[in-house]
Structure 1
């Protein structure tokens, strides 16, 4: 699964997570039809996907790629 996911350009992020879900994917496609074709192609490849859930982003509230390193270095609670 992981090897196959690395080869799909529309999947821009893949996290392995704990809990009731094994992986969380961030997917970017032109439209919902392109997304569904991508999902169908992944299911046809028999990568071990038993079920999937889709959540559509309607608005980015915060989407930062910058980490607050200075704030972490100056964290007074770490003393």
Structure 2
């Protein structure tokens, strides 16, 4: 198994902080020269460690003030039903995250909409119509205490490395 070394972790943390840096800025921040820095980033992309780059948008400034976490239960857990449910979830733009879970709910979804009326519309026109859904329990988020996109990648001890999937 290929491993992430100290430089890879530094690069990942720096890119998570600001992915718009030039290669020169990134190289200076992690103590590499530009060419090896660029090569490492390309290797991390090719290995799928870096899946892409995105902009962080303030949801309130784009009229998505209401965040709801909804627990979903399916009536049956047959493979076809689960696949249809997951495909329908992937097609719903209001559902920005979905997790298959243990415990009382089969899935937990995160829904972003402008207001409670929009959520009610979402429930009736989308959630209740998702394949196999028998129950939806909604929790409205009152205050977002922490919403972090950065992964907490820790530096390995000197000489150690952390796991990274093999290429190909």
What is the TM-score normalised by the length of structure 1?
Answer: 0.82
Distance (Å, rounded) in 2 between the aligned partners of 1:57 and 1:19:
20
Structure (1/2) with the larger helix percentage: 2
Q: Does the 8 Å CA contact 2:99/2:109 hold for their aligned counterparts? A: yes
Distance 1:12 1:46 in 2: 15
Alignment of structure 1 residues 28-43 onto 2, 5 Å: 28-42=112-126, 43=128
Which consecutive unaligned segments of at least 5 residues does structure 2 have?
A: 1-84, 158-168
2:139 paired with 1:55: yes
Q: 2:87 is matched with which residue? A: 3
Provide the aligned C-alpha RMSD in A.
1.4
- Greater RCO, 1 or 2 (C-alpha within 8 Å, sep 6+): 2
> Which of the pair is proportionally richer in strand?
2
1:46 Cα offset (Å): 5.3
Structure 1 or 2, whichever has the larger Rg, is 2
Cα distance between partner residues in 2 of 1:32 and 1:13: 19
**Match of 1:33, SS?**
helix
Q: How far apart, in 2, do the equivalents of 1:26 and 1:60 lie?
A: 13
Once the two structures are superposed, residues 31-62 of structure 1 have per-residue CA deviations (whole angstroms, 9 ceiling, x without a partner) of 1111111110122x351111111101111111
- Using structure 2 for the length normalisation, give the TM-score: 0.40
In 2, distance between residues paired with 1:57 and 1:64?
16
The CA deviation at 1:22 is 0.4
